[in-house]
Structure 1
Amino acid sequence: MIALTVSLQVVPGCREDFLKAIEDNAERSFTDEPGCRSFDVVCDMADDHHFVFHEIYDDEAAVDAHRAAPHFKIWREAAAKYVVPGSQVNTLSRRLFHHS
């Protein structure tokens, strides 16, 4: 399994529009992409404009399919408006353990 972690800061005044856009992207990623196992969006308790996404995919091909999905293009257009330029950091990792 591959974990994609995304950390970013939202432009002040754009939080609600951002949340609508990422909720749609997260839901469609999970429901429309067979290789997406989970997509969690969390908000920093100390800064309600700082978000982290925890996404789990079967493999790197599933991550590539995610980035090629039509809803991802819509998300990227929204991110260009709502995410502070230069604040987004993406990290790909191998998931070693999972407990639920």
Structure 2
Amino acid sequence: MGRQAKRVYTDQASIRKLESLVDQLPANGHVVLLLKDGSSCDGVIITRPNVQVFRDGDEREGINATVQLERPDVPDWSRQVWLDQILRVEHLDSCMASES
């Protein structure tokens, strides 16, 4: 398996929350992610994230996911964000903003 995460989730409520975030993160969408630590980051989503099975530091198996952001105006910049650290997604592109 080999996929490690700081936090994994097995309860249905947490998994549904992660799946709901996936629905808000379409490929090529331009978003601002407001994070639990009070920070935010913006960028274009490379591919829609998928919830996957990971193991935490105690070898417990559970679900989590990441989203990869890039900025077309900053070619060498990218950031990977764990979905469980996202408080809110703000859409900067008009097609998703009108659906929110």
TM-score, L = length of structure 1: 0.39
Q: Per residue, is there more strand in 1 or in 2?
A: 2
Q: Per residue, is there more helix in 1 or in 2?
A: 1
TM-score, L = length of structure 2: 0.39
